[in-house]
Structures are given as structure tokens and as C-alpha cells.
Structure 1
Amino acid sequence: MGVLNFIKRIFTWWDGQTLNTQIFTWRKGVRVGEDGQGNVYYKNQDDSKRWVIFNGEIEGSRISPDWHGWIHRTWDQPPTDQPLVHKDWEKPHQDNLTGTVLAYAPDGSLRQSRPADRSDYEAWSPE
């Protein structure tokens, strides 16, 4: 690890865990489990703190609903100990795609590859 990477880990949080988070996790963290995306979940000994170390981009919507409930104390048992019962009609978890190429673009949006026909539109002119 070079000096530049070391400095980056001290001051940046958006590109993986910081050095302080890694030290805190090593000293106080008790590994609880891991989700399908490789995110690892921790708590401290008395369960007063819960946190996640993301695998890749740090984005809150990458936490699945099962783990989201545990992180925010909606339920006490993590999904590794007591898995949630899922209904047949439930869709799999999807990350928030806002701001990406895959974000929803309704008909007529300027982001559509082929914009809708606007022959019914007449521009206003201040004459």
C-alpha cells in the first residue's frame, strides 16, 4: 500500500472503509453476517452499535430489506439467525438507480434514446 492510498483511506469514506473504521471494526466489531452482495455486517459486544462495511460502492440502497431492518433495529435477530419469510409476489431487492444510465425514464423524457413525437407541442412566443 503506497503513501497516497494510506492518506486516501484516512480522509475518504466514499471509496471503502476508512482507516479509523477498519481499526474500530478490528477492535470492537463482532461479525454478524454477510449479504448476497458481499456487504459485511457488524455489531459491538453490547449491541449498542450496528454497522455495515460495503463491498464496493458505499450506497445505502445497497442494503437489502432483510438487513436494513436489523441495522435500524426493526427486529433484533439478524437474517442469518432468523431469516425473514418472503411472499411469492415479492420482487428481489434492487439498488437505487437514480442518477445512473439504468434509471427510469418515462415516455417523452429527454433521456429516452428516441424521444416521443412532439408534433402536438407548440412553443410559446412572447409577441
Structure 2
Amino acid sequence: MIKFLLHTFTWWNNYTFGTLFALRGFKRVGEDEFGNVYYEGGLSSYGLPKRWVIYKGYAEASAIPPGWHGWMHHRTDVPPSKENYVAKEWQKPHRANPTGSPQAYRPPGSLSAAGERPRVTGDYDAWTPGN
């Protein structure tokens, strides 16, 4: 029952029934290592094929790996599932966006970082009118 309610009322939890209705006639192209499923079909207003992803779990755009990102944005016409996609040596492995999580970057001096803020160095003079 809970899955039925999630698929009926929340678009950010995987998909809605409206999404499944919109995807009729689309062809399943492949699946990435995270379980996201990719579809293609129809034409956009630019004449390009429409491409769609159904996220596994929470819908987060940063959860698309680089090979599939290139295909989704029409950088390549061949999806990674149809070719032997190998990341370049300089490409880092995919990592989801950590913003808002405990793994988020907190620079030194940030209010959310642990520890004490560094003292002001004195190289800053506040602006005052008339000076």
C-alpha cells in the first residue's frame, strides 16, 4: 500500500504512474551500475530523440554516471550499454553529490565545521562613509 501511495503522489521517489504512462512507446536502452534505468523514444521539439531516466530510489540528478550523462545530454548517440564504455584514466569514479549530508565539504572557518574559527588577520578595514 505504501508503494502505491508513493508512486501515486511523489515524483522524487523513483517514478509516478504518470511517468509510466508518459513512457509508453519508449524503448528501454539500458541500466547503469546504480540501478537507474534509461529509456529513449519520440522526438523533442529540437528533433532529437527524447531520453529519460528512472532513478532507483530517490531522484537525484548527480546519481547518473559520466557515460550515461553524456548519452542523456546527446553528447553521443551510442549508450554505454551498447558499447564497451571504459572511463579515461583521468576520470574519477562517480560519486553522488554529498551536499546536505555529513560527507559535505565544510571549509576551515565554516560555521558548520568542527573546531574554532581562525582569528582575523587585520588586513581588512571596514568601510565607513566619508573616508
**Structure 1 residue 113, shift from structure 2 partner:** 2.2
Q: Which runs of 5+ in 1 are unaligned?
A: none
Q: TM-score, normalised by structure 1?
A: 0.78
Match of residue 40, structure 1, among 37, 40, 44: 37
Q: Residues of 2 paired with 1:115 and 1:76: CA distance?
A: 51
Q: Residues of 2 paired with 1:50 and 1:110: CA distance?
A: 41
Amino acid at match of 1:38: G
Q: Secondary structure at 1:44's aligned position in 2?
A: strand
The corresponding residue for 1:106 is: 107
- CA displacement, residues 66-115 of structure 1 (integer Å, 9 cap, x when unaligned): 10111111100000112334222321011111222211111111221223
Q: Is the 8 A contact 1:30 1:45 kept in 2?
A: no
**Structure 1 residue 36, shift from structure 2 partner:** 0.9
Percent of aligned positions that are identical:
45
Q: Is the 8 A contact 1:109 1:115 kept in 2?
A: no
The corresponding residue for 1:80 is: 81
- CA displacement, residues 47-81 of structure 1 (integer Å, 9 cap, x when unaligned): 72210010011011111111011111110000011
Cα-Cα RMSD: 2.5
Count the aligned residue pairs: 119
Q: TM-score, normalised by structure 2?
A: 0.76
Q: Which runs of 5+ in 2 are unaligned?
A: 127-131
Residue 60 of structure 2 is aligned to residue 59 of structure 1: yes
